[in-house]
Amino acid sequence: MDFKEHITDKLTELTGLDRETVSAAMETPPDEKLGDLAFPCFPLAKVMRKAPPLIAQELASKLSADDLIDKVDAVGGYLNFFFNRSVFISDTVSAAMDAGNSWGSADIGRGKTVLVEYSSPNIAKPFHIGHLFSTAIGNSLARIYKFLGYDVQSLNHLGDWGTQFGKLICAYKRWGDPEIIEKDPINELLKIYVKFHEEAEKDPSLEDEAREYFKKLEDGDEEATSLWKHFRDLSLVEFNRVYDMLGVKFDSYNGEAFYSDKMDEVVRLLDEKGLLVESEGAKVVDLSDMDMPPCIILKSDGATIYATRDIAAALYRHRTYSFYKNIYVVGLPQSLHFRQIFETMRRAGWEWSKDCVHVGFGLVKLPGKNMSTRHGDVIFLEDVLNESIEKTRAIIEKNNSAVDDIDAVSKKIGIGAVLYTFLKNSREKDIVFSWDTMLDFDGESAPYCMYGYARGKSILRRAEGIDYSKADLSKAVSDDAYTLVKQLAVFGDAVRDAAEKNEPFYVTRYVTNLVKLFNKFYNTNPIMREDVPEDVKKARLAIVDAVCTVIRSALALLGIDVVESM
């Protein structure tokens, strides 16, 4: 039974207001002692021509307790409703156990396609710690939208085109050693790329040579194209090793190169709309009336740039997927770029451009040089993940924890700890990377949440053989049990908030609070002790079971795997 719906029906009948108005006005009191749900009577003052406190008292006198409502209090201008705790716990836990892994999910996205573009590293460049911000947020959003019933397509818009590939081909032809590059592709390609820039400072003609190689690549030259594909394939092998560690999968790896033959149409369409104007030899869309710099479509030498390719990509995606949302998980420094291309598409008359969304995020800050790495100033993401796994293993061994497979457990906890760090706060907030907080088993961290889950599963293993599937949940009523079950009930709200605002941290905050309340519950409500009556034991076990399922589901939405024991 939906308690809010029940109260909404009662208030609609008493006040004459429509259900939507009543439901929207409902609030959750800041303190549980004030009730479970509150209705502010201030909007009724003009209609009833009475002070809100008097209205609250009058309505309270007409609202009697029933099977779902324990009592109704008038406090100031508010009506405070107290749920029947026994019924609430029984209904919520039973429904959660019946729903299992689908508790909190929805089908609001049925028939709607959401595209999530994220990660998008540059080919032949290091997959560094900064890339994890986009990867963690994008992967989580993709999982959250799927959980709500949307058809989600995860897109990796690789940086695989541009003049830098002319430079790389030039460098490879001069200094590349195929055998060495095959052994350590990204690091070795980076070395010769850096060497190109060093040598070009001494000999500027190298820049001309690089432009010639990229022109050959654009024209489909066989050798240039073969080398480009080779660099791309080598890079994807390296990238996919990291993606496998993170449990990240993509539906498309179409990068900038894929749209290279689709940009002429963009130029033509914008020109036909009368949007292109000449500026210092370049073709641009004037956005001065929006207090923005012009959106450059063609440079003075006739070459296209990022904006042209991104508009071509958006047009292709609209035609291919007819998307409900087209989400770009890209750093905040690119905010102006997206404002420019979205406005350009709007002016082109593409009504669907309003469904393109930039989901920006902050910076990763590294205090000092305290991370071990073989790669000098470049902090490779794979190194960070491996170091987190190693540090986790050391903590487990130091605590003498008896785990069945320390390698697997260390990997899940170590990687989960890194992901949680990137998803624990609002995405626009910068991250200060700290091993101490990341691997804290007692604070707000992945290890803390995973330990709460493992503790619950340990209780359930000890209870093996006890059938609590039809437990009388009214026997579990207590203050801490009620507070815990109330948190259990709002999982779906947290997931919907995360999708609505494209903020995974709503789920992170939810599951962290759930684990905190769970810890308090099992510390004050003994479960497997001999002096606990059998019916109480079964009721509490049912709550533990439901909570464990939701912890696992919530962490999965963050891309974090649980461990059964720690």
Q: Show the 3-state SS of 296-327.
A: EEECCCCCECHHHHHHHHHHHHHHHHCCCEEE
Would you place residue 371 in the very low, low, confident or very high pLDDT band (cuts 50, 70, 90)?
very low
Cβ proximity of 90 and 97 under 8 Å? no
CATH number at residue 62: 3.30.1360.70
| Residue 334 in domain | no
Backbone φ, ψ for residue 152 (5° rounding): -105, 135
Domain end (from 216, 246, 276): 246
- Region of 432 (left: φ > 0; alpha: ψ -120 to 50; beta: rest) is beta
Amino acid at 296: I
Domain end (from 212, 246, 280): 246
| Residue 53 in domain | yes
Measured CA to CA in angstroms, residue 101 lies from 309, 411, 518 at distances of: 40, 24, 18
Q: Is 358 a catalytic residue?
A: no
| Residue 431 in domain | no
Which spans in 16-107 are helix H? 19-25, 45-48, 52-62, 85-99
Catalytic residue among 10, 128, 283, 412: 128
| Residue 369 in domain | no
Q: Is 125 a catalytic residue?
A: yes
Pairing of β 78-83 and β 37-40: antiparallel
pLDDT in tens, 475-533: 999 999 999 999 999 999 999 999 999 999 999 999 999 999 999 999 999 999 999 99
Catalytic residue among 71, 112, 125, 520: 125
Domain end (from 184, 212, 246): 246
Query: What domain range is 235 assigned to?
Result: 162-246
Please say if the pLDDT value at position 461 is more than 70. yes
- Token pair for residue 563? 């461990």
| Tally of domains in the chain | 2
| Residue 382 in domain | no
pLDDT at 377: 58
Q: Is 337 a catalytic residue?
A: no
- pTM (predicted TM-score): 0.92
pLDDT in tens, 45-104: 888 888 999 999 999 999 888 899 999 999 989 999 999 999 999 999 999 999 999 999
How far apart are the C-alpha atoms of 260 and 304, rounded to whole Å?
Answer: 9
| Residue 272 in domain | no
Would you place residue 374 in the very low, low, confident or very high pLDDT band (cuts 50, 70, 90)?
very low
Give the residue-averaged pLDDT of 525-543: 96
Amino acid at 28: T
